[in-house]
Chains A and B, each alone.
Chain A
Amino acid sequence: MQYKTLQTLLLLAGSVTISHASVAGETLDRIKERGELIGVMDQAYPPYSFLNDKNEMDGMDVDLTKEFARRLGVKAKIETPAWEVTTAGNWRGRWDICICSMTPDAQRARSLDFVTHYYSSPAVLVTSVNGNPLTKLADMEGKKIAAQQGGSYERYLNQTLKMEGYGAKPVTYPFKAVQVMPYGSEDLEYQDLSLGAGKRIDGLVSNLVTANERISKMPGKFKIVGEPLFEDPNWVAIDKGDKEWRDTVVKIFDDMRKDGTLQKITVKWIGTDISR
């Protein structure tokens, strides 16, 4: 009897410590029980996610998360830990889903499951109007080009970006080695670039949507160089290992594509349908 109890205890302890992956369906059960879907995203990545005038999280990713929760029949709650914390995976039930403009790659796929593609954003090279602006993509060679630390743009500049297997076209590099300048936030990149190309940096890599926003908010400062560098596929991410939850997410997104809700929400925020 005592031996049996001990065995059960050991088994329990083992299952608690060893089971890295969540049990099938665990996530959905948790959400239903809580009556709340906890979506995680970046604190400031306008127009996808940002704090609006009412001091609430708002944006395309927020609307999609709310719509997703509505279809599950629960409320949506948005949490905004640092990007590095989100991408580290191992959420341990803190968060349920990341409709958060994340670009899949082999490295991130080790800590998170990428479930479904929901929009594409072209990456562009931005330079300044003043100073010694770059004129074509090949001009990047040997120049100081900024990119968000830990993001796919930084890996692109280091020529280590791998995006095979996520519906992405293979990446080409129309330049030789550049001097990569990793930044903690895009704001600082744009601020340094606004001093004039050649001062602190010569250019930066950003996505077309946010680049256009900056250009319209601060006219006469920045311009986009040449064609987009590559298309960044953005996928919905979840914590590793819950197959049932994965299937649920795929199904809901398929429904949103079929009835046009996904397209409608992207058009509302971006002006064009970027969901293909």
Chain B
Amino acid sequence: MNRNTIMTSKFKWQVTLVWLALMIGFIWFIAKFDLDMAYVWEKLPFLAGLHLSPDGFIQGVPLTIYVCVIAMLASVILGLLAALGRLSLNPLAYGISTFYTSFFRGTPLLLQVLLIYQGLPQIGPIPTAIPSGIIALALCYGAYLSEIFRSAIVAIPRGQWEAAMALGLKKHQTFLKVILPQSMKVAIPPGMAMFIAMLKDSSLVSVMGLWEIMFLAQSYGRSAYRYMEMLITAAVIYWILSFLLELIQARLEKVFHGGKTR
């Protein structure tokens, strides 16, 4: 029994049914809260970012996406560099890399955000809120990704290195052309899980007063005493965004598996 044979239309249809049943259960649970739906519909356009904030900047969903996309790109680069450092025999690279991953995985993200936002001004530059948030998210998630990348690189059998070298490829060529593409296949699912986590952790940047999804939800909720309404609305928005990331993950897996599903 492999995935190809069970992914029949019957199977898919049954899965859809299970989803629907669970969805109805969730909606029933939420309905028990006796929520003020009128308020939800009134505030949804703001949370979705269809309106600019009073100072003419993006708010809500677009701001969250903006912060996350840049932080994701930066964290992939950081993670890859840290993974290479961890695999290198150079004591400096190894030391920096292990210290970096240890610190950024071992301390709360909120503290990291505040260290950058409140701490950097003590030694010079005064970063504004958005760069501070992006830097904190990128550093934190880069540390997590580095371990994912490292394990993915190590997961590729030694024989691949030897075969490539035997064909006359240089070490860096082997890494870039043979090992990295194969290890990507291994790294995509856990890497994407990290991005989904980052999406929701981005709400922490609201401590600097950025009007992202969670900030608006909390502000509206507190101002009108409709806290649950707004938090549930924010939850649904985050879920939809996470679902989009899952779709991207499915596409990427197809690409790196060369059309072959195992």
Contact = CB atoms under 8 A, between A and B. Distances in A.
Indicate, yes or no, whether A interacts with B: yes
B132 to A, nearest CB: 11
B126 A185 contact: no
28 contacts: A43-B218, A43-B222, A44-B223, A50-B222, A50-B223, A51-B216, A51-B220, A51-B223, A55-B53, A56-B54, A57-B54, A79-B209, A81-B208, A82-B206, A82-B208, A85-B114, A85-B118, A85-B208, A90-B118, A90-B121, A93-B126, A94-B126, A185-B222, A185-B227, A187-B222, A187-B225, A187-B227, A188-B227
A48 to B, nearest CB: 11
A189 to B, nearest CB: 11
A42 B223 CA distance: 11
B145 to A, nearest CB: 27
Contacts, number: 74
Contact of B222 (A46, A55, A92): A46
A53 B208 CA distance: 23
Interface residues of A, number: 35
Contacts of A45: 222
Interface of B: 42, 46, 51, 53-55, 114, 117-118, 121-124, 126, 129, 206-209, 215-216, 218-223, 225, 227-228
User: Of B42, B55, B122, B209, which is in contact with the most chain A CB atoms at under 10 Å from its CB?
Assistant: B209
A88 B114 CA distance: 11
A191 interface: yes
Contact of B223 (A52, A84, A90): A52
A45 B122 CA distance: 30
A218 interface: yes
A246 to B, nearest CB: 21
Given A43-B209, A43-B218, A80-B219, 13 more contacts: A44-B223, A45-B222, A46-B222, A50-B219, A51-B216, A55-B51, A56-B54, A77-B55, A85-B118, A85-B207, A191-B227, A214-B225, A218-B225
Contacts of A50: 219, 222-223
A202 interface: no
B121 A92 contact: yes
Given A55-B53, A85-B117, A187 B221 contact: yes
A44 B129 CA distance: 19
Contacts of B117: 85
Interface of B is mostly: helix
Contacts of B215: 43
Interface of A: 16-17, 43-46, 50-53, 55-57, 77, 79-82, 84-85, 88, 90, 92-94, 185-188, 190-191, 213-214, 217-218
A55 B209 contact: no
Nearest to A81: B209
A130 to B, nearest CB: 16
B220 A92 contact: no
A94 to B, nearest CB: 7
Contacts of B124: 16-17
B59 to A, nearest CB: 8
